[in-house]
Amino acid sequence: MAVEAIETGSKIKTLGCEPENPPQVSQFVRTLETRFLTSFHKQANMKFYDGVAPQYANERAWTTDTRNSIRENLIRRVNQYISDGDKILVVGTGTGSDQEILQEIGAVCYGIDLSRLMLIEAKRRINDHLVQAEADEIPFPTDFFNFVYCEAAAEHFDGPFLSTEFIPELTRVLVPNQKRANLLLSVRLGNGKVYRISDKNSFKYFATYTQETINRILTDAGVEIVEQWCSQGGTPSVEGILPWFNTIGKIR
């Protein structure tokens, strides 16, 4: 599996969340013309995840210790902002691993994903509502959800999509005038490059952000930032290289 950058930019800034092995990034960097994710990249990502769905499900079949660690983190970070019976939208539910844990802590979860085959795998482990849909056309009524959980899917969104399509759609489906935080959003912390990960005959794309950029996007879109932290993990090829930058916020 190979990783390459398809947009040049400034030096990677992790702002207190240093990659474990930053030199690995440079060997994959090359200059291409594309800067933002397009419909082509979206279709490539869907094809990639359709192709790896069973393998991905097995890789995410966590051990008890891993599940307990993730469950503890979810309770500590998310559960303080939700109540029993709250309706949570999981954007990019994948094979349902995070949604399964959210279900265990009392949330009523609804998951959307662009990959039909990932949703088939998710259906094997959870009983919640699962729908194939795009993040800018959420097939649920206005003022329907209490919280939106977007832990990994946003790496497939670029800045313009986040600010002009995704967050306005969340504003529509979230219950208005909530006093507590109602959004978890995680992005890849980097320098603004778009990366391509190749695996045999398939490939996927993901975007990175600086902390300044994602904060500006969220603030301009009307999101009040409540809490932020960094974490490692996720895509094996970039694990420890490009950390996650997580935000809990409130859409006003």
Per-residue pLDDT of the chain (252 residues; tens, 9 = 90+): 444 444 333 333 334 454 444 333 333 333 233 344 555 566 666 666 555 555 655 655 555 565 566 666 666 788 889 888 899 999 988 888 888 888 877 889 999 998 888 888 888 888 779 999 988 899 999 999 999 999 878 888 877 888 888 899 999 999 988 989 999 998 888 877 776 666 555 656 777 888 999 999 999 888 999 999 887 654 444 444 678 889 999 997
Residue 48 CA to residue 50 CA, distance in Å, equals: 6
Give the CA distances from residue 230 to residues 16, 49, 77, 187, in Å, rounded to whole numbers and listed in that order.
8, 25, 12, 10
How many residues does this entry show for the chain? 252
pLDDT computed for residue 131 by the predictor: 93
Number of domains in the chain: 1
Range of the domain at 121: 2-251
* Per-residue burial over 92-117, b = 16 or more CB atoms within 10 Å of its CB, e = otherwise: bbbbbbbbbbbbeeebbbbbbbbbeb
pLDDT computed for residue 79 by the predictor: 87
Residue 207 CA to residue 155 CA, distance in Å, equals: 5
CATH of the domain at 190: 3.40.50.150
Asked if 246 and 239 touch (Cβ cutoff 8 Å), the reply is: no
pLDDT computed for residue 7 by the predictor: 39
pLDDT computed for residue 1 by the predictor: 46
pTM equals 0.76
